[in-house]
Amino acid sequence: MEFLFFFSVAGVIIVILILKFEKKQTVKVNTVLKETRSVPPLFKLKSTEQKINVLKEVLRYDDVPQNLAAAASMANIYNNQNENNRLSKVQELKLLSSR
């Protein structure tokens, strides 16, 4: 009979210790979740950076003439209308990436 009482008390103590440990872990997880809510997802951020880099390459982002007169003088290389479209897209990209 003494063994039954001893194992019952030991079982209750073990259950109480497990519950306390679980409570501490829950508090830790909730704290981490609260801290990470304001952090933007890393994969979305990386994907956006890659897309912007591809757009810059396609639009020749760094190859922008200083004014439209310079763009007009490049008519032998590029169609003037296409160059104006490219310049407007580059300006849109600059505006979006500056926000």
Tell me how far apart the alpha carbons of residues 8 and 58 are, in angstroms, rounded to a whole number: 74
Asked whether the CA dihedral 8, 11, 15, 17 is positive or negative, the reply is positive
Per-residue pLDDT 10s for the chain (99 aa) are 788 889 999 999 999 999 999 999 999 999 999 888 877 787 888 888 888 888 888 777 666 555 555 555 555 555 567 777 777 888 888 887 776
Separate counts of helices (H) and strands (E) for the chain: 4, 0
Cβ contact 77:60 at 8 Å: no
Tallying the residues shown for the chain, one arrives at 99
Q: Where are the domains of the chain?
A: 1-39, 41-99
Q: Going by C-beta distance under 8 Å and a sequence separation of 6 or more, which residues neighbour residue 68? A: 84, 87
The angle subtended at Cα 92 by Cα 66 and Cα 75, nearest 5°, is 40
